[in-house]
């Protein structure tokens, strides 16, 4: 069995060593143009040339949860595209979102500003009952985030394309229930996959349906959010602010207004990083399962886009 590795902007050698250790009977090589055909590929942001040459691939394993960029390429029609289920990312995402929600709810940003100004101040405690958190996207990461928020006794709403039941989470599903989901939420957390249907889903029309003083947390893809609409709704007072980890252009351009907006907190796409050892173990297990014609989790439906 031959496995080829083609991951842009990724240090290859630790991945190659790990895959070779996990799959000792396989030949694992770094892809170079003109390389011989392989059975499976481990990829991240590969060029179109890679798939134009590797037309016989049986499995394409993406070293991340998001596959929107991969699905823009022309892929071998017989190849099974597989994304990571978790590989240590869900707990990181839960940490990040809970931190952002609590920082806003407890007004720690305001306390921080006061301390820097030498001011000793108090703020009236807020009621959790008034801070329902809406999690948009209930896949592996979204479900983990929703469960983590429950531990802090926030009311949690969940919205997904099709109905999903999570104990303690008020469920909404489909386009018909999106407006009701937004109206029931004070904080919006976006964990949707990026597809043609979800692009620009966070725009003036939808964000204005959040409860007054609402707060936005985007940890999915920058293209979900219409930047100017978010800024306008914050400046109008309808939204209290936002925490953003993903952007339409990354790195975020130096002249982008998000850098300077006092009510927007940004981080450099670091909410949940791929953990190499966990990812290698998961990918190796799935490759062997495919070779044995066994079912695996994480298979991408190209039509749905995730």
Cα–Cα distance measured from residue 186 to residue 155, given in angstroms and rounded to the nearest whole number: 10
| Residue of 109, 153, 99, 156 whose CA lies nearest to 127 | 153
| Residue of 156, 180, 207 whose CA lies nearest to 172 | 180
Composition of the chain by helix, strand, coil, percent to 5: 35, 20, 45
Beta bridge partners of 40: 3, 59
Helix H or strand E segment including 9: none
Location of structure tokens 């450099």:
268
Beta bridge partners of 266: 244
**Out of 161, 221, 248, 260, which one is annotated catalytic?**
221
Instruction: Judge whether 221 counts as a catalytic residue.
Output: yes
Cα–Cα distance measured from residue 284 to residue 23, given in angstroms and rounded to the nearest whole number: 7
Cα–Cα distance measured from residue 214 to residue 202, given in angstroms and rounded to the nearest whole number: 13
Q: Is 52 helix (H, G, I), strand (E, B) or coil?
A: helix
**Out of 170, 204, 269, 276, which one is annotated catalytic?**
269
Location of structure tokens 């979204």:
142
What is the full DSSP assignment across 59-82? EEEESSS--TTGGGS---TTPEEE
Q: Just list the catalytic residues.
A: 221, 269
């Amino acid at each position: 069995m031959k496995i080829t590795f083609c991951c842009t902007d990724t240090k290859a050698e630790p991945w190659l060593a790990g895959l070779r250790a996990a799959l000792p009977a396989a030949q694992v090589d770094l892809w170079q143009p003109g390389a011989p055909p392989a059975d499976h590929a481990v990829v991240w942001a590969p060029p179109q040339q890679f798939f134009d040459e590797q037309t016989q691939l049986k499995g394409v394993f993406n070293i991340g949860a998001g596959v929107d960029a991969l699905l823009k390429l022309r892929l071998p029609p017989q190849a099974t595209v597989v994304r990571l289920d978790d590989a240590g990312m869900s707990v990181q995402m839960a940490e990040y979102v809970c931190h952002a929600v609590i920082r806003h709810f407890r007004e720690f940003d305001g306390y921080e500003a006061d301390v820097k100004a030498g001011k000793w101040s108090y703020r009236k405690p807020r009621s959790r009952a008034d801070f329902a958190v809406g999690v948009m996207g209930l896949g592996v990461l979204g479900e983990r985030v929703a469960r983590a928020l429950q531990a802090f006794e926030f009311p949690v709403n969940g919205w997904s394309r099709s109905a999903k039941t999570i104990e303690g989470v008020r469920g909404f599903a489909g386009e018909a229930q999106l407006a009701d989901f937004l109206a029931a939420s004070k904080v919006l957390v976006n964990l949707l996959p990026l597809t043609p249907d979800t692009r620009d889903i966070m725009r003036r029309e939808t964000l204005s349906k959040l409860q007054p003083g609402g707060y936005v947390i985007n940890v999915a893809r920058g293209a979900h959010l219409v930047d100017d609409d978010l800024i306008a709704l914050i400046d109008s007072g309808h939204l209290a602010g936002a925490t953003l980890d993903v952007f339409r252009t990354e790195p975020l351009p130096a002249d982008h207004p998000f850098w300077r907006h006092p009510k927007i907190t940004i981080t450099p796409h670091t909410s949940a990083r791929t953990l190499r050892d966990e990812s290698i173990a998961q990918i190796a297990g799935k490759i062997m399962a495919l070779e044995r014609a066994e079912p695996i989790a994480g298979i991408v439906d190209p039509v749905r886009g995730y």
